[in-house]
Amino acid sequence: MDRDTLRALLERVASGEESAAAAAERLAAAPFVGLGFANVDHHRAIRDGLPEVVLAMGKTPRQAAAVAREILGVAGRVLVTRVEAPHLDALREAIPGLCHDADARLAWCDTAPRPRLGCVAVVTAGTADIPVAEEAAITAGMMGAHVERIYDAGVAGLHRLTAHTETLRRANAVIVAAGMEGALPSVVGGLVANPVIAVPTSIGYGASFGGLAALLAMLNSCATGVAVVNVDNGFGAGYLAATINRLALGAGDGP
């Protein structure tokens, strides 16, 4: 349950369309439900705008599926990150109609998709950065943001980026995923006045140290308005960008 759903429920009670007892029954799962191995936070969407997201990594397939099914049953939507093949089999068995992106390692189900509003631009330096970018793009979309993708537009051929300047400047937030030397976020930051969220990826040769070189380059960017998330953290970038987009639309209570 998110803020909009809670507000609508309270308005129906106030108008007499729904009884207090029925509303209490709907709220019975709040604020969390214990599954023995996990405490599922059903108030997360009210506070943060998105139901609790399930990190499959480190969980058994059974655990990931049980948590995801519990969240979906109450919230009507669920997002699972870092999904591997054994998790996917269990999730599909637990949740009919599950969507999956193998490259982004995401699985999700949304029984009532929200309108996609505003604009979040997602840019990659190279094709190899797309899996991380898709993790960001799908996450932002789940949070109600309209997403524009600009892929394979790195500094080795800047004309590929400048062709999209209008889209970049129109976006309420720009996500830039880059590996190697991680220079692209600085370039984008110099072109736009809106927030830029830099995502270092682990793409690169030995001296990239699994994305550390890109991370340090982004942290040392001389362009203003550039913030940096952790290596390969597309989810974190997508969540932050969607939050900025929501605030820009004047919808601070959550999607």
pLDDT higher than threshold 80 for residue 35: no
pLDDT for 45 beyond 60: yes
SS3 call for 42: coil
Q: Which is it for strands 77-81 and 99-101: parallel, antiparallel or unpaired? A: unpaired
Count Cβ neighbours within 10 Å for each residue of 7-23 and write b for 16 or more, e otherwise: eebeeebeeeebeeeee
Residue 94 has pLDDT above 70, yes or no: yes
Question: 42 or 203, which is more confident?
Answer: 203
Which range (28-37, 82-91, 173-182) has the least confidence? 28-37
- Range list of H helices, 116-158: 130-142
Domains and CATH numbers, the chain: 29-110 (no CATH), 117-248 (3.40.50.1970)
